[in-house]
Amino acid sequence: MENQKENLFSEPHKRGLMKSPLQESSKANVVLAEIQPDLGPLTTPTKPKEVCQGEPWTPTANLKMLISAVSPEIRSRDQKRGLSDNRGLPEARDCLHEHLSGDEFEKSQPSRKEKSLGLLCHKFLARYPKYPNPAVNNDICLDEVAEELNVERRRIYDIVNVLESLHMVSRLAKNRYTWHGRHNLTKTLGTLKSVGEENKYAEQIMMIKRKEYEQEFDFIKSCGIEDHVIKSNTGQNGHSDMCFVELPGVEFRAASVNSRKDKSLRVMSQKFVMLFLVSTPQIVSLEIAAKILIGEDHVEDLDKSKFKSSSPDMPLATSFLEVEQSAKENCAKNLFSTRGKPNFTRHPSLIKLVKSIESDRRKISSAPSSPIKSNKAESSQNSPPFPNKMAQLAAICKMQLEEQSSEPRKKVKVKLARSGHYKPLAPLDPAGNTELELPAPSLIQPLGVVPLIPSPLSSAVPVILPQAPSGQSYAIYLQPAQAQMLTPPHGLSPTVCPTHSSNATGSKDPTDAPTERTTPDAAKSSASCRPGSLQPAPERHGAKNGSKETTGERGTKRASTSEDSSSVKKPKEDLKALENVPTTLFPSGYLIPLTQCSSLGAESVLSGTENSGTLSPNHRIYGSPIAGVIPVASSELTAVNFPSFHVTPLKLMVSPTSVAAVPVGNSPALNSSHPVPAQNPSSAIVNFTLQHLGLISPSVQMSASPGPGAGTVPVSPHVEAASVIPDNLSSRQGRATSHDSPVLGQSQLNGQSVAGTGPQQPVPVTPKGSQLVAESFFRTPGGPTKPTSSPYMDFDGANKTSFGTLFVPQRKLEVSTEDVH
DNA sequence: CAATCCCGCCAGGTG
DNA sequence: CACCTGGCGGGATTG
């Protein structure tokens, strides 16, 4: 551990010298390796080398990607840094790669690809076991990792933040993080899904799509109506107030972490994931994501802020404002002013976003046409920056996860058991633990009570939502400011509030006097609105606020909800619930193959019904119907929705800033135009991570759907196309399948899955491969094959066909579709 | 040429 | 106070 200090001074590169060859070598391998073995658990996570082992891993796709990425990277690295020396070690390792890709590349291109976050993320993940043995200490030393990976520490932060958002990692101390792997993943996804539902992301997405669509045709009309809707939505849920969602077991210890900005990458990452989990088609256009995520928190706020600080340029904001001005104001204040400085910094970017959005609008308005544009094209155009990054990360993560998922069996059970284990570290609430344990059952039971763990969150107040439906309870941390803002998702919230809130908050906020409040107000307000037809039932949310700061801000919280159905339901039921959610009307943007996600969301992942397939829906499909937990078929469509079952209580941290968020869809203008998000924290990271996790298919990545077309219905076709072949499969799988590459053909997929899984998984119950598949996806923009015509149709479930598909693979790496074979 | 995103400065925060 | 974190802009790449 030369570590830290050195790091600071020394340049990474230099360190790089250090780089163990392994790493590099691993690169390609690594990726694979990552997947590998569960063995990992035993092994210390930290070790980089471990990774190396794993070559065989996975699905070819990953390999390809990795390799491609890696080799160059390595090369580049060497060249770059090392010019001097780099110590070339890498060479050996590289050799492989080199052979593959050819030195040439290196020579010519040290390119960024090599340096991409996605690749880095892969490498990072490769180092640790998917399901680490809790007994072992899985500490991650940032410095070490940075050295090993030969990157600047700064990069590691991005990765860690995303992983942290998924609770795959938790911060122990300064340079230290604990690796949790996928143990909590299911829960996390379930929780995020619930939260996303609460926030009505699905609805928001639809709204936005409609607007866009309509706008294309009829600008004005749509705007008026939809706007209202949106506004309402946003008002209710719209914004995700929550800053951060925590799982009971995995709380953030580091105060710092908690305290820091809410909007940070970690929060954005969660939200981004939520979009996928919530959206039926699993396709999420970047535009939409930007509008919702950025828009929520930032856009409005930003706008406002702008107004405040600079000048009121943005009319856009106003619309939102109108709806919730007061709230917004508060939010804005919070966001910007709250902590003072930082806020300002954001402004610029925000402003940019706004501008970009406006410009987009203009464009759109001007060129309403092309409804169907290929996603790719569109995406490329409009896509906000962040999505890409996020997508990449997600993709990567997903892949890895999927691969890893092989072990699924343990999944649920293990998880449960583990839940307790997870973190000894986490002091948190016992309650949480309990919840964890009871994933399924819990659903039924009102977890709500779950005591929030007193998290270190400085500002955030944890709110616990008892979700009857889901059974999960999670805590949401709201920041004071936010609290106000927060509105329960739907009317639901009110009910919930009482019980939990008090408990949760109290327990949690150590710092602040926990003022527990249920926030009737917010809830009520929000309540007024209904969740939309789309969502099945609003569950009740328990909302609580912990406003630590009773002082100023109040916290209100909205409860989350989840699916009510789920609450009662058992996992399977959950599936049903999913089905219920017919929601998505139009797929606007990209498909995100949630397959994994869905699985995740559903217990499937956790349940491990399919050991192998946990992550990938595909597996299920191919394999026997799901092991039980959830019959894929039934759920298929809904799959996306599932999440709840497992869901264990989560804690949501709400950041003040986020509070403001609401607006997202709100402003008509915004909606109409593509909101181009300003810069996001590293979107790439998120993407990768998500993908790895399986949430998002690599190929999918978020891309913004550029034009209106994307947003509009037409888009769907694309999606469909993607899914097309697989449709049958997909239908089965539901979205999950989507990932599967249609093109490749199931067989391949299967093969991959099998292959991939087989090795890894102890018991290959069902073939998995999903990941690969996902990766492989092609996104056919046009929906080459046949797009099932109506996207909607798909959604409904009957057709469902395609979720998985994506188009636009933004990144090559990700794409390596075929690879497998 | 536009979009994407890597690099790394530098400020806020934490120990 | 020194270091840890991570926001953010600049500029390099990519397509």
Bigger pLDDT: A713 or A215? Answer: A215
The pLDDT, as a whole number, for residue A389 is 52
CB A603: neighbour CB atoms within 10 A? Answer: 35
* pLDDT surpasses 60 at A593: no
Picking from A753, A399, A394, A404, the residue whose alpha carbon sits closest to that of residue A608 is A404
The pLDDT, as a whole number, for residue A275 is 84
Encoded tokens for A127? 């180092």
State mean pLDDT over A629-642. 29
pLDDT winner (highest mean) among A63-72, A235-244, A372-381, A411-420: A235-244
Note the CA–C1' distance, A366 to B13, in angstroms.
46
Picking from A201, A204, A280, A197, the residue whose alpha carbon sits closest to that of residue A797 is A280
Counting Cα atoms < 13 Å in the Cβ hemisphere of A692 gives 41
Sort strands A473-478 and A651-653 into parallel, antiparallel or unpaired. parallel
Distance CA A545, CA A554 (A): 7
Note the CA–C1' distance, A534 to B6, in angstroms.
41
* pLDDT surpasses 70 at A571: no
The pLDDT, as a whole number, for residue A263 is 57
Distance CA A105, CA A111 (A): 8
What DSSP letter does each residue of A738-749 carry, written as one string? HTS-TTT-HHHH
The string of pLDDT tens digits covering residues A354-371 is: 444 444 444 433 333 333
Asked if A169 and A128 touch (Cβ cutoff 8 Å), the reply is no
- Which nucleotide is closest to the Cα of A111 by its C1'? C13
Residue nearest to nucleotide B9 (CA to C1'): A154
Category of A734 on φ-ψ map: left (φ > 0), alpha (ψ -120 to 50) or beta: left
CB A100: neighbour CB atoms within 10 A? Answer: 16
The pLDDT, as a whole number, for residue A689 is 57
The pLDDT, as a whole number, for residue A246 is 64
The string of pLDDT tens digits covering residues A37-51 is: 232 322 333 333 333
The pLDDT, as a whole number, for residue A506 is 32
Encoded tokens for A369? 């046409």
The pLDDT, as a whole number, for residue A611 is 32
The string of pLDDT tens digits covering residues A728-751 is: 333 333 333 333 332 332 333 332
The pLDDT, as a whole number, for residue A327 is 33
State mean pLDDT over A196-217. 75
CB A221: neighbour CB atoms within 10 A? Answer: 12
The pLDDT, as a whole number, for residue A42 is 26
The pLDDT, as a whole number, for residue A390 is 57
The pLDDT, as a whole number, for residue A281 is 67
The pLDDT, as a whole number, for residue A130 is 84
- Which nucleotide is closest to the Cα of A344 by its C1'? C7
Alpha helices in A438-592 (DSSP H): 439-444, 480-485, 493-508, 520-528, 564-568, 571-580
Residue nearest to nucleotide C15 (CA to C1'): A380
Distance CA A698, CA A585 (A): 23
Which amino acid type is present at position A146?
A
The pLDDT, as a whole number, for residue A754 is 29
* pLDDT surpasses 70 at A174: yes
Distance CA A182, CA A431 (A): 21
Give the list of residues 6+ apart from residue A547 with CB closer than 8 angstroms, or none: A461, A478, A480, A483, A505, A512, A515, A517, A553, A554, A555, A556
Distance CA A596, CA A611 (A): 13
Bigger pLDDT: A472 or A6? Answer: A472
Distance CA A213, CA A93 (A): 50
The pLDDT, as a whole number, for residue A112 is 73
- Which nucleotide is closest to the Cα of A341 by its C1'? B12
State mean pLDDT over A523-530. 32
State mean pLDDT over A593-620. 32
Residue A7: DSSP 8-state: H
State mean pLDDT over A130-134. 83
Bigger pLDDT: A4 or A298? Answer: A298
Encoded tokens for A441? 């059952």
Mean pLDDT of all residues belonging to chain A: 43
Note the CA–C1' distance, A111 to C13, in angstroms.
7
The string of pLDDT tens digits covering residues A668-695 is: 333 333 333 333 444 555 555 555 555 5
* pLDDT surpasses 60 at A178: yes
Asked if A204 and A664 touch (Cβ cutoff 8 Å), the reply is yes
The string of pLDDT tens digits covering residues A253-287 is: 444 444 555 557 878 888 888 888 887 766 777 77
Asked if A170 and A252 touch (Cβ cutoff 8 Å), the reply is yes
- Residue written as tokens 């996605």? A118
- Which nucleotide is closest to the Cα of A116 by its C1'? B6
Residue A291: DSSP 8-state: I
The string of pLDDT tens digits covering residues A231-244 is: 334 433 334 344 56
Secondary structure element (H or E) that encloses residue A473, with its range: strand A473-478
* Phi, psi (rounded to 5 degrees) for A475: -105, 145
SS (H, E, C) A319-364: HHHHHHHHHHHHHHHHHHHHCCHHHHHHHHHHHHHHHHHHHHHHHH
What DSSP letter does each residue of A431-453 carry, written as one string? HHHHHHH-HHHHHHS--TT-PPP
Bigger pLDDT: A96 or A403? Answer: A403
The string of pLDDT tens digits covering residues A59-77 is: 333 333 333 333 333 333 3
- Which nucleotide is closest to the Cα of A338 by its C1'? B12
Residue nearest to nucleotide B4 (CA to C1'): A385
The pLDDT, as a whole number, for residue A135 is 80
Distance CA A668, CA A710 (A): 18
Encoded tokens for A436? 């964890």
Picking from A411, A492, A510, A498, the residue whose alpha carbon sits closest to that of residue A453 is A510
Distance CA A86, CA A90 (A): 8
pLDDT-derived band at A353, boundaries 50, 70, 90: very low
- Residue written as tokens 């929520």? A296
Note the CA–C1' distance, A260 to B12, in angstroms.
9
Predicted TM-score (pTM) of the model is 0.48
The pLDDT, as a whole number, for residue A134 is 77
CB A311: neighbour CB atoms within 10 A? Answer: 8
Q: Could you list the protein residues whose CB lies below 7 A from any atom in strand B?
A: A 11-13, 112, 115-118, 151-152, 154-155, 173-174, 254-256, 259-260, 339-342, 379-381, 383-385, 388-389, 392, 458, 679, 682-684, 703-704, 810-811
Distance CA A15, CA A17 (A): 5
CB A284: neighbour CB atoms within 10 A? Answer: 36
Which strand C bases fall within 7 angstroms of a protein CB? 3-9, 13-15
Encoded tokens for A94? 């590289």
Asked if A717 and A419 touch (Cβ cutoff 8 Å), the reply is no
pLDDT-derived band at A475, boundaries 50, 70, 90: low
Bigger pLDDT: A186 or A471? Answer: A186
Note the CA–C1' distance, A578 to C4, in angstroms.
43
Distance CA A730, CA A738 (A): 6
Give chain A's end-to-end CA distance (angstroms, integer).
40
State mean pLDDT over A77-95. 34
Distance CA A403, CA A761 (A): 8
Percent of chain A clearing pLDDT 90 (strictly above)? 0
- Bridge-partner residues for A515, per DSSP? A547
Bigger pLDDT: A715 or A474? Answer: A474
Note the CA–C1' distance, A199 to C11, in angstroms.
38
The string of pLDDT tens digits covering residues A499-513 is: 233 333 333 333 333
The pLDDT, as a whole number, for residue A125 is 87
CB A83: neighbour CB atoms within 10 A? Answer: 9
Note the CA–C1' distance, A322 to C14, in angstroms.
42
The CA-atom distances, in angstroms, between A398 and each of A35, A101, A717, A739 are 10, 24, 25, 11
* pLDDT surpasses 60 at A117: yes
State mean pLDDT over A396-402. 52
pLDDT-derived band at A395, boundaries 50, 70, 90: low
Distance CA A480, CA A657 (A): 10
Residue nearest to nucleotide B14 (CA to C1'): A256
Q: ∠A817-A820-A821 over CA atoms, to 5°? A: 115
Note the CA–C1' distance, A295 to C9, in angstroms.
21
Secondary structure element (H or E) that encloses residue A715, with its range: helix A715-724
pLDDT-derived band at A570, boundaries 50, 70, 90: very low
pLDDT-derived band at A399, boundaries 50, 70, 90: low
Distance CA A83, CA A105 (A): 16
* pLDDT surpasses 70 at A813: no
The pLDDT, as a whole number, for residue A406 is 38
The string of pLDDT tens digits covering residues A783-812 is: 333 333 333 223 222 233 233 333 333 333
The pLDDT, as a whole number, for residue A702 is 40
The pLDDT, as a whole number, for residue A132 is 82
